[in-house]
Amino acid sequence: MDSENQVWYAAFKSKDNRFDGRIFVGVSSTGIYCRPICRAKLPKADNCTFYTTAAAAEQAGFRPCLLCRPELAPGTAPVDAADSIAHHAARMIEEDCESELSIEELADRLGYTDRHLRRVFSEKFGVSPVQYLQTCRLLLAKNLLTDTDLLITEVAMAAGFGSLRRFNDLFKKQYRLAPTALRRQTGAEKKQDCNISVSMGYRPPYRWQQMLDFLALRAIPGVEIVRDGEYMRTVHLITGKQRHLYGWVRVGHRPEKNILTVTMDSNLLPVLPLVLARIRHLFDLYCEPDVVYETLSSMNNIRPGLCVPGTRLPGCFDAFEMAVRAVLGQQITVKGARTLAARLAGTYGTPIQTGIEGLTHIFPSPDDIVSLDGPIGDHLGPLGITGVRANTILKLAEALYKEDVDFGHCIRPEEEIKKLLAIPGIGDWTAQYIAMRAMAWPDAFPHTDYGVKKALAPHTPGEIIKIAEAWRPWRSYATVNLWNSL
């Protein structure tokens, strides 16, 4: 074996979870591929071939291990230019794997030619975007076959296959096993309700309680709840055929398996990939905590314990909801902003029956705000929202409605931040905060934030900016660590 393969085999042998999601191991003696943390009997080194993606392993003819379940492996989140293009494309493929989005359309949304996208994608992942999409669909189907009792037809449709026959043929060809045979082998338990439950892996450590505390403090009553160690919220999503779907989702934690458990309303099955993509974003499941800590550990020179491994960047499930919440939070307390957001949801949101105490409304969409007749202040003023902030919310809704700003897969977040700053009422703090949570931009830094200044007192704002230069490109994570330290 060459030196690189020797390193990978050593990681495989030691079950080093730092390599989980970064490499996959094809075992020639069994014809399967595994995560590096797989607890099956260690194969001989000569029988192992290493790949950087599950898609590459599958294209080489290996089928996924039923023990370590490659579909649960965490992803990666690089920030370099070429890597960023490839990974943004991969995230879009995962999110839209139930649609028939072409490579040309994907490239256009990212602002590049399809030729350039194919090249950087192949260089990064070793497979084409189409092959990557195929693996995403197959692994999602495998997850559903293992963790749910959905009908095979429902699994096929939810994973993005156009027909049951197409799904069966590709599944058998790729995995040399029929979907029904896989379900028998894994012994999937029958559920006693009609909800959908799946598992999502992450790379440890994960400071789950700190994440819940952050979300609980900012949860919008009626829309979100943190209770009994779980996060719950209402959901409204639109299919590619413009069908509106409503439901709820609940997220729990199983630290012994390094997974989050996601349970959702069966009404959301047609948009399952999109729901899971938003959960990944909300709970920062692509994070590589060891890479982040390697840079931010220098924070502990300022004060011991200032940076803690496993700190995640809280994202959001709905970008407009989070952005409005940020505007409402300008120069008032977190509790005050939460109260205003609850009034807005209760008055202009959509009522929903969830069967879960405390989840009663869908937060209003940009369309809901834009469609209000008359001056916006007449609508939001009685809720306690000032005229300036009401106008900012309207302009923000218009920008999203017209697609003038991109919170989803913005390949150039600095440009989107500039667009936000052009909206009256949005300053640097608000723009940086939205970039952190809605855009998942790891290098945002709201240096004027009260909590940041308090955690780094007695340094001046100018000194704080200079200090934070050493934390690039993970200043968003540094900010969360500073907040947690308070």
**Residue where a domain stops, chosen among 68, 92, 107:** 68
Cα–Cα–Cα angle for 19, 21, 25, rounded to 5 degrees: 75
Pick the catalytic residue from 147, 284, 443, 449: 449
Residue 79: pLDDT band (50, 70, 90) is low
Tell me, what CATH number does 8's domain have?
3.40.10.10
Using the predicted structure, report yes or no on whether residue 60 has a pLDDT greater than 70: yes
In a domain, 289, yes or no: no
* Residue 235: φ, ψ to 5°: -140, 135
pLDDT at 187: 64
In this prediction, residue 418 carries a pLDDT of 94
Q: What is the pTM of this model?
A: 0.87
Q: Are residues 210 and 99 in the same domain?
A: no
User: How many residues appear in the chain?
Assistant: 486
> Which structural domain, as residue segments, surrounds residue 363?
319-485
Which position among 20, 34, 38, 318 bears the catalytic label?
Answer: 34
Supply the CATH number for residue 398's domain: 1.10.340.30
Regarding whether 231 and 375 lie in a shared domain, the answer is no
Mean pLDDT across the stretch 398-412?
A: 85
Instruction: Give residue 459's pLDDT.
Output: 94
Based on the domain organization, do 144 and 239 belong to the same domain? no
pLDDT of residue 80: 64
Q: What angle do CA 362, 241, 271 make, to 5 degrees?
A: 55
In a domain, 73, yes or no: no
Assess if residue 308 is contained within a domain: no
The pLDDT mean for the chain works out to 92
Residues 336 and 226 in one domain: no
Same domain, 243 and 272: yes
Query: Would 208 be classed as within a structural domain?
Result: yes
| One domain for residues 179 and 203 | no
The answer to whether residues 351 and 417 belong to one domain is: yes
**In degrees rounded to 5, what are phi and psi of residue 265?**
-60, 135
132 and 37 in a single domain? The answer is no
pLDDT at 469 over 80: yes
- Pick from 105-119, 152-166, 208-222, 261-275: least confident: 105-119
* Residues 6 or more apart whose Cβ sits within 8 Å of residue 237: 244, 245, 268, 271, 274, 275
Q: Is it the case that residue 409 has pLDDT exceeding 70?
A: no
Classify residue 408: in a domain, yes or no.
yes
Distance of CA 213 to the CA centre of its chain: 18
Same domain, yes or no: 324 and 369: yes
In which band, very low, low, confident or very high, does the pLDDT at 98 lie, cut at 50, 70 and 90? Answer: low
Q: Quick check: 293 and 475 in contact, CB under 8 A?
A: no
Per-residue pLDDT, averaged over 349-357, amounts to: 97
For residue 146, what is the domain's CATH number? 1.10.10.60
- Sign of the dihedral defined by the CA atoms of residues 426, 226, 243, 101, in that order: positive
What pLDDT is stored for residue 99 in this prediction? Answer: 67
Q: Which of 256, 283, 310 is the last residue of a domain?
A: 283
d(CA 300, CA 306): 5
Do the domain assignments include residue 314?
A: no
Q: Is 34 labeled as catalytic in the residue annotation?
A: yes
| Number of domains the chain is built from | 4
Residues 409 and 364 placed together within one structural domain of the fold: yes
Is the separation of the CB atoms in 462 and 448 below 8 Å? no
pLDDT at 93: 84
Whether residue 333 is predicted with pLDDT greater than 60 in this model: the reply is yes
Residue 303 pLDDT level (bands cut at 50, 70, 90): very high
What mean pLDDT is predicted for residues 394-415?
A: 88
User: In the chain, what percentage of residues exceed pLDDT 90?
Assistant: 77
Predicted local distance difference test score (pLDDT) of residue 100: 67
Is 403 part of any domain?
A: yes
Cα 368 from chain centre: 25
Residue 356 falls inside a structural domain: yes
Q: Are residues 348 and 457 in the same domain?
A: yes
β-pair type (259-264, 63-64): unpaired
Q: Which residues contact 411 (CB under 8 A, 6 or more apart)?
A: 84, 85, 88, 110, 111
Is 60 exceeded by the pLDDT of residue 70? yes
pLDDT digits (tens, 9 = 90+) for 417-443: 999 999 999 999 999 999 999 998 999
CATH number, position 253: 3.30.310.20
Q: Are residues 467 and 436 in the same domain?
A: yes
Domain boundary among 230, 257, 283: 283
> Distance between CA atoms of 149 and 84, rounded to whole angstroms?
37
